[in-house]
Every structure is written in structure tokens, then in C-alpha cells.
Chains A and B, each alone.
Chain A
Amino acid sequence: MASQGFEFAYMLDGSNDSPVIRDFILGAAADHLIGDLMIVQSDGYIDAAANNATEVTCVIMEEVLTADVTAGTTVAKCAILQREQVWKCSMDASSTSLVAGVTKDVDIVDKNTVDADNAGSGAICLVDISKLDTDGNILADLVFLDTTFGNT
């Protein structure tokens, strides 16, 4: 089975911290699933990342379905992303030529899957690509290099 989108793994700095979770206002009436990668928009609301993600803000921690969302009003619990956090997420392939620690612009396929062959348009750095999920795809450990509350 693939990961449930992005799942918190551990702190890269060795601390026992876990992500801070707080309410964010949803900007679109769409299905939001646990593990979805989200980006704050210019209106201050968060939308799911599409297939191209550089700056990222948080990861959904509670499921909110389309019918229950009033855009700009409904809130959802999200984990705030920081660069010291390692997250794990399934890729869309069983192998990759991307190099852990070297490729720093890895992208996503969609809001809950890492692209195994797209470097150049994202802002993810892989930490470990030695594990596979039960679908046979790479279950990558990664860090986000461009976080909303940590960039300039």
C-alpha cells in the first residue's frame, strides 16, 4: 500500500519534536484527505498542492470532504511544515535516478505522491530512498526545502 500521502517520520536534528498542528482555512471546496500537501495562497487560505510544488505550508491532518467545505470559511487541522522535519511519502515508481542529498528540486505528481523522475521544478530533498512500500514503489524519506514559515 502507498503511504497516506505525506506522513511525518522524524526530526532531522534528532529532537523528539512533532509537528505543530493548528487550524487553517480551506480555500477550495474539494476533498481534503489526511496527508495532502497544502500551500497557503495570496488570500491566506490553503489549497492542495497540484503537480508542481516549491513553497509548501502544511499537511492535512483531518479529512474534510467537498460537501462539508465552504471555501474561505471552513477550517481543517494541519501540521505546519519546517525544514528540520523528515516526512515520508510514496513515489510513483519503483526506481529513481534522483540522488538523496544531492537532488534538491524534486517535485510531486499530485498532493499525496512524489514524482520519481521529476527534478527541476520542485523543492524537495530526498533523505532516504532505500525502502519500498507494499505496492513496490519507493517510500521516500524527504525534507521540504522551501517552507512558508521558514523561507524568505
Chain B
Amino acid sequence: MATRGFEFAYMLDGSSASPVIRDFTLGVAAAHLVGDLMLVQSDGYIDAVTGTTTEVTCVMMEAVAAGDITAGTTTAKAAILTRNQVWRCSTDAATAATALIGTVKTWDTADKNTIDADDVTNGAMIVAEGEPDPDDIADRLGGDGFVIGYVVFADTSFGNA
């Protein structure tokens, strides 16, 4: 089975902290699932990310169905992303081409709850775990046979400039 989108794994700084969860206002009446990766927009509301992700803000911690959302009004619990957190998420393939630990800092998403296994140029995720092998990080497989990526978000809304 794939991960439930992005799941908090551990703190990279060795602390036992867990993400701060707070209410954010949703900007779109769409289904939001636990684990969806979100980005604050210029209006201050959060939308789900799409196929290309650089700056990110938070991860959904509660499901909200489209029919229950009034855009710009309805709030949802989300975990604030910081750069010392490691998150795990399934990719869309059984191998991840060149995702070297600490070297690739531009790993991208396929959608709001999946990492793009072979797009290592358009995003802003740093590979945090996996074999330091140029071919794959295939020792981290989910139940569906796809690689589970362990990543640090290098461009967080409350941590960049």
C-alpha cells in the first residue's frame, strides 16, 4: 500500500518534536485528504500543490470533502513544515533514478500526495534516506512495490526568504 500522502517520519535534528498543527483557511472547494501537501497562496489561503512543487507550507492533518468547503472561509488542521523535519511519501515508481542522499535537492512531486520518482530537477525536496547508489533507493519499498521517499523540504514558507 502506498503511504497516506506525506507522513511525518522524524526530526532531523534528533529532537523528539512533532509538527505544530494549526488551522489554515482553505482556498479551494476541493477534496483535501490527510497527507496532502499544501502551499499558501497570495490571498493567505492554502491550496493543494500540483505536479511541480518548490515552496511548501503544510500537510493536511484532517480530511475535508469538497462539499464541506466554502473557499476562503473553511479551515482545516494542517501540520506546519519546517526544514528540520523528515517526511515520508510514496513515489510513483519502483525505482527512483538518481535520488542520492543529500545531493539531490530538487526532487519534485507527481501530485499532492505522491513524489515523482524520476523528476529530480523541478522541486525542492532533499533526499534524506536511501542507499547512496546512483541507480535507485529501492530498499525503501511500499506494499505496492513503489519506492517510499524520505525527504526534507528545503523551501518552507515560514523558513525561506
Q: Which residues of A contact B (CB under 8 A)?
A: 10-17, 83-84, 99-102, 104-105, 123, 125, 127-128, 143, 145-146
Interface status of B9 (Cβ within 8 A of chain A): no
- Are A102 and B158 closer than 8 Å at their CB atoms? no
Measured in the bound complex, the distance between the Cα atoms of B43 and A16 in whole Å is 31
Kindly provide the distance from the CB of A151 to the nearest chain B CB, expressed in whole angstroms.
9
Additional 17 contacts, C-beta under 8 A, given A13-B84, A100-B44:
A11-B17, A12-B158, A13-B82, A14-B18, A14-B19, A15-B16, A16-B17, A83-B159, A84-B82, A84-B84, A99-B40, A100-B40, A101-B40, A104-B160, A127-B158, A145-B160, A146-B161
A151's closest neighbor in chain B, by CB? B161
Kindly provide the distance from the CB of B112 to the nearest chain A CB, expressed in whole angstroms.
18
- Are A125 and B20 closer than 8 Å at their CB atoms? no
Chain B interface size range:
20 to 34
Measured in the bound complex, the distance between the Cα atoms of B80 and A12 in whole Å is 7
Interface status of B103 (Cβ within 8 A of chain A): no
**Residues 1-52 of B at the A interface (beta carbon under 8 Å):** 11, 13, 15-20, 22, 40-44
Measured in the bound complex, the distance between the Cα atoms of B157 and A127 in whole Å is 9
B16 neighbours in A (Cβ, 8 Å): 15
A102 neighbours in B (Cβ, 8 Å): 40-42, 44, 157
Interface status of B95 (Cβ within 8 A of chain A): no
Measured in the bound complex, the distance between the Cα atoms of B44 and A127 in whole Å is 10
A99's closest neighbor in chain B, by CB? B44
B57 neighbours in A (Cβ, 8 Å): 101
Contact partner of B42 among A13, A15, A99, A146, CB < 8 A?
A99
A13 neighbours in B (Cβ, 8 Å): 11, 13, 15, 17, 19-20, 82, 84-85
Kindly provide the distance from the CB of A33 to the nearest chain B CB, expressed in whole angstroms.
27
Measured in the bound complex, the distance between the Cα atoms of B160 and A104 in whole Å is 8
A145 neighbours in B (Cβ, 8 Å): 159-161
Measured in the bound complex, the distance between the Cα atoms of B22 and A11 in whole Å is 13
In the complex where A12-B82, A13-B11, A84-B82 touch, is A101 in contact with B158 (Cβ < 8 A)?
Answer: yes
Kindly provide the distance from the CB of B36 to the nearest chain A CB, expressed in whole angstroms.
17
- Are A15 and B17 closer than 8 Å at their CB atoms? yes
Per-residue 0/1 for B71-101: is the Cβ within 8 Å of any A Cβ (1 yes, 0 no)?
A: 0000000001010110000000000000000
